[in-house]
Amino acid sequence: MKIEANDKEVQDIFSLGYFKIPRFQRPYSWGNDEVESFWKDTIIENSENYFIGSMVVYQNKKPYFGIVDGQQRLTTITLILSAIRNAFISIGETNLAKGVHKYVEKANIDNEDEFILNSETAYPYLQDHIQSFNGINLSCDVGVEEKKLESAFSTISRLLDKYIPAIKDNSGQASLFTDHENSAVQKLKAIRDKVLSLKLVFIQLENEDDAYLIFETLNARGRDLTTSDLVKNLLLKNKKSTSKSIDQAKESWNSMVKHFDDEADSSTLDSFLLHYWVSKHSYTTDKKLFPEIKKMINDEPSEAHKLLLDLSSYSSTYRDLLAPEQRKWSKEELPVKNSLLSLNTFKVKQQTALTLALLQKYEKKSISLRVLKKSLNKIEKFHYCFNAITSQRSSGSVASNYSKIAIDLTNADTQPKIQSTLKNLDTFLKSKMPELNEFKVKFKEMQYGNKKTKDKKIVKYTLDLLTPKNNAGLTIDSNSLTIEHLHPQSKPTTDINEESIYNIGNLILLDNKTNSNDLEDKTVKEKISILKGLNFPLQDIALSEVEWNKMAIESRADLMAEKIYAMCIEAVQRQ
């Protein structure tokens, strides 16, 4: 491997040719904190020739380079130069704007304008909305990377306006005093010169194969690359494109990534890779995942191809787990949606390997909808007791057991094997269920009110469990019901203090009309009488028309806990 390293300034690098972000690279990912920190280091606190680290590239054809390391910084520098150009335009300095633009776009050997930095994943947003001298406002799909670029460019433009307040006068018009030494023109020139004089070590490799190796090695030496960055690099390295017009491997990867574009959390792709692996191959941790994938691929293009196809298949299912509300479910499938939503409400991930495997089996018609609904209901009720109420700590054993069951289910190719695996699930869940006494103690600690909102979602889920889904032949829409206090929050007494008012035993689900029109300003005894007269579902817990006090509230909470615990046990033990 031939490696050539030289000290260079940004203006020298941008004069060398054109830079492409290669297929194995991650998208632009800097947030506002990184952008502001880079601005502070390079513009505010930099006198001249500030060193910003190294840049690693490879060259297969002159004058085009692929970027191995330095993509985030080079992209950010392009954003800054584009913002400076726009600032020059805004004050009527067109020639100066064109001078800066030469470091963003320049003519190639065919005398056709070409952007110096070329990003395929952000095309055409980056090129049209940021890099172009006069954007033509093409209609662009705006995914996660485009939003990052938009936010970064807005941050840079804001910082530029703040640093050079004379860009516009008080009337909002372009400022005309361009000769003073502190004018906008002079300050913009100073920033331009600082950016172009930034220094770095320019490291050039001979070919793309060396680039794949260096990319992975940089991570081993502490570079901030994620598991998904490394897996992408590995797969594309082993599944080279055979067509000039389309890169099938890269398109497959990008298609998979787009399933998660609406997720704000940038670690979603890493989580997907881990949950996919532990649901089908073996239980592992995020830190150990890449070595295991690399071992399986073993530089075999066929294995890379199989994994890409598998990931593509699983990614849409994983998206359904993350955002069940975005999938169009049939009426019969709604219990599946509700179980997935409930697990998200509990904020648990331990079960994801198995829920992923279950949904995959259902999509492939290996298990029936009835089996899927029953299995998800078991898992939902278990985690309600185990996590949402008693807050158990599993030390990894729950996740590892789920992984084993998920792998067995994935590999089960006959109905007897599937049934045997699901029986193992039953046995596992029963062994981990908390005892009734522990459940009751934690259950009665749940509170909700103006000053106690932390448990709101779990409280509503709990009350909804006790609400019949139809009453007098009418379907009850849980989403239209709100949590109400039988004894009002605004009227604590010596018998019913604030803690008792917030207690789950004093709570009920009501629709707004009944609460506002029928029960407003009534005593608890009167409310119970009215609700019984309306044949309103009372959570199937007998509310007696007796004096409502702390003891009555605690007694009701006990009854609710016993009722719900029995429901959960029944669900987990149901064959």
pLDDT in tens, 407-425: 999 999 999 999 999 999 9
172 vs 532, which has greater pLDDT?
532
pLDDT at site 181 = 47
Measured over the CA atoms of residue 158, residue 159, residue 165 and residue 166, the dihedral's sign is: negative
Tokens of 35: 């952008």
Instruction: Give me the percent of the chain exceeding a pLDDT of 70.
Output: 83
CB 446 within 8 A of CB 459: yes
The neighbouring-strand residues paired with 19 are 65, 117
What lies within 8 Å, CB to CB, of 221 at 6+ separation is: none
**SS3 state of residue 395:** coil
Tokens of 14: 């941008």
Q: Are residues 252 and 140 in the same domain?
A: no
Residue 168 pLDDT > 70, yes or no? no
Which has the closest alpha carbon to 215: 421, 22, 32? 22
447 Cα distance to chain centroid: 29
The verdict on residue 317 lying in a domain is: yes
C-alpha span between 377 and 571 (Å, rounded) = 7
Q: Are residues 429 and 448 in the same domain?
A: no
The verdict on residue 421 lying in a domain is: yes
Residue 368 pLDDT > 60, yes or no? yes
C-alpha span between 501 and 489 (Å, rounded) = 6
pLDDT at site 23 = 65
C-alpha span between 69 and 152 (Å, rounded) = 19
> pTM value?
0.67
Question: Which residue carries 């304008």 as its tokens?
Answer: 113
Confidence of residue 510 (pLDDT cuts 50, 70, 90): confident
Which of 390, 416, 434 marks a domain boundary? 434
405 vs 493, which has greater pLDDT?
405
Q: Are residues 405 and 544 in the same domain?
A: no
Q: Are residues 127 and 38 in the same domain?
A: yes
DSSP codes, 460-489: HHHHHHTS-SEETTEE--GGGEEEEESS-T
Residue 545 pLDDT > 80, yes or no? no
Q: What is the pLDDT of residues 177-189, one digit of tens each?
A: 444 445 889 989 9
Q: What is the DSSP letter of 544?
A: -
Confidence of residue 321 (pLDDT cuts 50, 70, 90): very high
C-alpha span between 339 and 383 (Å, rounded) = 11
209 vs 434, which has greater pLDDT?
434
Q: Are residues 175 and 233 in the same domain?
A: no
Tokens of 311: 């990931």
Q: Are residues 420 and 453 in the same domain?
A: no
The verdict on residue 251 lying in a domain is: yes
The neighbouring-strand residues paired with 54 are 201
The verdict on residue 216 lying in a domain is: no
| Domains: count for the chain | 3
Which has the closest alpha carbon to 297: 354, 231, 210? 231
11-20, 55-64, 537-546: least confident range:
537-546
Domain, as residue range, for 536: 441-573
Q: Are residues 198 and 231 in the same domain?
A: no
Before 468, cis peptide (omega within 30)?
A: no
Residue 175 pLDDT > 90, yes or no? no
Which of 434, 459, 488 marks a domain boundary? 434
Q: Are residues 184 and 328 in the same domain?
A: no
Q: What size, in residues, is the chain?
A: 575
Q: Are residues 451 and 426 in the same domain?
A: no
Question: Which residue carries 């530089």 as its tokens?
Answer: 299
163 vs 286, which has greater pLDDT?
286
User: Burial of 441 by CB count in 10 Å (0-12 exposed, 13-18 middle, 19+ buried)?
Assistant: middle
Residue 434 pLDDT > 80, yes or no? yes
pLDDT at site 167 = 52
Backbone phi and psi for residue 453, each to the nearest 5 degrees, phi listed first: -110, -5
pLDDT at site 170 = 43
Q: Are residues 305 and 379 in the same domain?
A: yes
Which of 182, 211, 240 marks a domain boundary? 211
Strands 474-475 and 507-511: unpaired
Within a 10 A sphere around the Cβ of 395, how many other Cβ atoms?
8
First-to-last CA distance in the chain? 62
Q: What is the pLDDT of residues 72-117, one digit of tens each?
A: 899 999 999 999 999 999 888 999 999 999 999 999 999 999 999 9
The verdict on residue 217 lying in a domain is: no
The verdict on residue 218 lying in a domain is: no
The verdict on residue 69 lying in a domain is: yes
Confidence of residue 171 (pLDDT cuts 50, 70, 90): very low
Q: What is the DSSP letter of 258?
A: H
Q: Looking at this protein, which amino acid is placed at residue 329?
A: W
The verdict on residue 508 lying in a domain is: yes
Q: Are residues 278 and 345 in the same domain?
A: yes
Residue 318 pLDDT > 60, yes or no? yes
- Tell me how many degrees the CA angle 93-97-102 measures, rounded to the nearest 5: 155
Confidence of residue 205 (pLDDT cuts 50, 70, 90): confident
pLDDT at site 94 = 92
Q: Are residues 278 and 422 in the same domain?
A: yes
C-alpha span between 88 and 290 (Å, rounded) = 47
